[in-house]
A and B are shown apart, each in its own frame.
Chain A
Amino acid sequence: MASKLSHLFDIRNVIGALLAIYGVVLTVAGFAPGLVRERDKGASNNPVDLYFGTDANWWVGLALIGVAVAFFTWAWLRPVRLEETPTTSASP
């Protein structure tokens, strides 16, 4: 039980989980732009139009999913070794 929990809460899995959630949400939002309203670009006085449009969402979404998978794989391939004496590592 303890080892299962600490595996689940390995910081790599936590990072992976957050990036995966962000990735999925952004990908969905990118492919279904109806979900977010297209921004009104209004009166911009920029000489270059910088706005990238909602397609940017799924580009980044897919990239984040990729990074998340990398973290999950790393945590899975190299699990944390639990020390035998978990709380006595403090120096005397």
Chain B
Amino acid sequence: MTTTTTQAAENVLRLNLGWLDYVLVAIYFVFVLGIGFIARSQISTSLDFFLSGRRLPAWVTGLAFISANLGAIEIMGMSANGAEVGLSTMHYYWIGAVPAMLFLGVVMMPFYYGSKVRSVPEFMRRRFGPGAHLVNAISFAFAQILIAGVNLFLLATVINALVGWPRWLSLIVAAAVVLSYITLGGLSAAIYNEVLQFFVILAALVPLTVFGLIRVGGWNGLKDKVIDTTSGGKVTASVHDQLTTWPGQALSGFDSPVWSVIGIVFGLGFVLSFGYWTTNFVEVQRAMASNSMSAARRSPIIAAFPKMFIPFVIIVPGMIAAAAIGDMIRLKSTGKGDVTYNDAMLLMIRDILPNGLLGVAVAGLLASFMAGMAANISAFNTVFSYDIWQDYVVKDRPDHYYIVVGRIATVAAAILAIFTALIAAGYSNLMDYLQTLFGFFNAPLFATFILGMFWKRMTSTAGWAGLVAGTLSAVFVFILSEVGVINLPGQGMPFVAASAAFVIDIVVSVAVTMVTTPKPVTELAGLVYSETPREVFGDPQSAGKAWYYRPVPLAAVALTLTIILNVVFH
């Protein structure tokens, strides 16, 4: 969700890795590849390869669900936000991610899992036919390659800055590692590695936060040390702004507190985050790999619990860095320096951890880059094989054929990602733009999905027309802001663009539906709420179980906790 460009001044970030650190990193790689080999023994159908045979328990898919997103882009981007605008960054989690994940589990997952589709675009095809399906499948596949490449590029840049390895070496090594475990073990290998990565990255982030807080004198010590963020001689985030979450003007860039709250709740929360978490196949694929309807619905809900506490070990270290590290303080008070905000987490690792823990941190960072890339590639190969190849190119082959296609697609994706990374190295601005644009694609998708799921009259033409109109209006707002017609100093532009996309999508979909013919009602079972027999959504396994085995009560608890967090840190 946040774009990241690291231009690290080499010597500032260089870590002094000792032999012990390398041993710890090496052990991690042995585990990663080992998981690929173990997972290989479980693959006999294409469903095994692409959806782990739908047999993983909810806690595994739940952790994979957040881990797929807890890539290094997020870790570095959100700690950068923490350093720059402070606590209002929490909105990305408490207003953004968590409610959206709960919504996915409670409302949307029954459609995805109940209709037995194998990907999000496939749901699109069954509900709206080939037009909307192609728009969705192709833009998704393209975006995944791009994002995998950006991940790879960032990994190479960070490794180069931290350890000094040449960029091409880390590029190829990382791509080779990801490639080997996914081609071997398919989605299971990706998911198991994501779960493993989750614990390794926490083993680095939690001590980092605790030791950092001890050093600055606890939470109160940190509050005393926070300073104004200045850029171009103007204070962009005052100390007060940084220590409160609402109204979050430093984050949104709106002058009026009321519009700031509306922008955050509707733009970031409802449109951007709901769009991202509920339609992004990278995430949904993890839940689809669960072993039952109940587990599929619970995986995003289980994921919501760690998700609401993770910002404490990502954003708080960013704030500590901005309050206690000389280079960062200079950047904050003058707007210039040898480092960028994106370096906040790396500076913390450099300054706090001794050799030994340093190895754990480097393993964790490598893991999160690779997990991010693996998530993109495993989602790509599924959409490519099922939605593009099987639907439009070579149909009706035996199942085994599509596993082979999937493996080839994986190799091709990894190679393409290396090339994308090389392009990113030359044109990092271009990559930032594209990534921002792909961020908008989810908002109209969400509008189309939610309308299509609950309004049986909505037609196929409305499906693709709404998508295209919505996406174009997001691009339009983006261009307006680039040429300066709209001026938002903070991160509010994506909120506005996504909101515009959402509204335009709804308006166009409704208008087009009025003048076109809907699909026959008989074809809508499992796809539209009113036409689906209740048994399809039924969840016999949940009946009579304790509350934490049932999606809705579990989601209610998670929602209550999020509200409490919002109140406590207002």
Q: Which residue numbers of A lie inside 8 Å of B, CB to CB?
A: 9, 11, 14-15, 17-19, 21-22, 25-26, 29-30, 35-40, 44-54, 56-57, 59-60, 64, 67, 83, 87, 89-91
Contacts and interface: CB of A to CB of B under 8 A. Distances in A.
Given A50-B320, A90-B45, 5 more contacts: A14-B38, A14-B196, A25-B24, A48-B216, A52-B354
A87 B44 contact: yes
Nearest to A37: B18
A4 to B, nearest CB: 13
Nearest to A36: B355
Interface of B: 16, 18, 20, 23-24, 27-28, 31, 34-35, 38, 44-45, 47-48, 53-55, 60, 116, 192, 195-196, 199-200, 203, 207, 211-212, 214-216, 225, 320, 323-327, 329, 348, 351-357, 360
B18 A36 contact: yes
Contacts of A38: 354
Q: Taking each of B20, B53, B323, B354, which has the highest tally of chain A beta carbons within 10 Å of its own beta carbon?
A: B354
A90 B356 contact: no
Contacts of A19: 199, 203
A22 B53 contact: no
Given A26-B356, A44-B326, A59-B207, A90 B53 contact: yes
Given A15-B199, A18-B196, A57 B47 contact: no
Given A15-B195, A47-B329, A50-B212, A56 B207 contact: yes
9 contacts: A11-B60, A29-B20, A29-B355, A36-B20, A51-B352, A56-B356, A57-B357, A87-B48, A89-B53
A22 B116 contact: no
Nearest to B191: A11
B225 to A, nearest CB: 7
Contacts of A48: 215-216, 225, 323-324
Q: Which of A11, A29, A30, A64 has the most CB of B within 10 A?
A: A11
Contacts of A36: 18, 20, 354-356
Nearest to B18: A36
A26 to B, nearest CB: 5
Contacts of B195: 11, 15
A48 B327 CA distance: 12
A17 to B, nearest CB: 8
A52 B353 contact: yes
A51 B351 contact: yes
Contact of B38 (A9, A35, A52): A9
A40 B14 CA distance: 13
A92 to B, nearest CB: 10
A87 B20 CA distance: 42
A77 to B, nearest CB: 15
Given A36-B356, A53-B354, A87-B44, A18 B27 contact: yes
Contact of A21 (B27, B53, B215): B27
Nearest to A23: B203
A15 B326 CA distance: 37
Contacts of B192: 11, 14
A22 B207 CA distance: 14
B293 to A, nearest CB: 13
B355 A37 contact: yes
Given A25-B24, A36-B20, A87-B45, A54 B326 contact: no
Contacts of B24: 22, 25
Contact of B324 (A37, A47, A60): A47
A43 to B, nearest CB: 10
B356 A29 contact: yes
Contacts of B196: 11, 14-15, 18
B270 to A, nearest CB: 34
Contacts of A15: 195-196, 199
A18 B193 CA distance: 12
A57 B27 contact: no
A11 to B, nearest CB: 5
Contacts of A40: 16
Most A CB contacts (10 A, CB to CB) among B192, B352, B355, B357 go to: B357
Given A18-B28, A29-B20, A52 B215 contact: yes
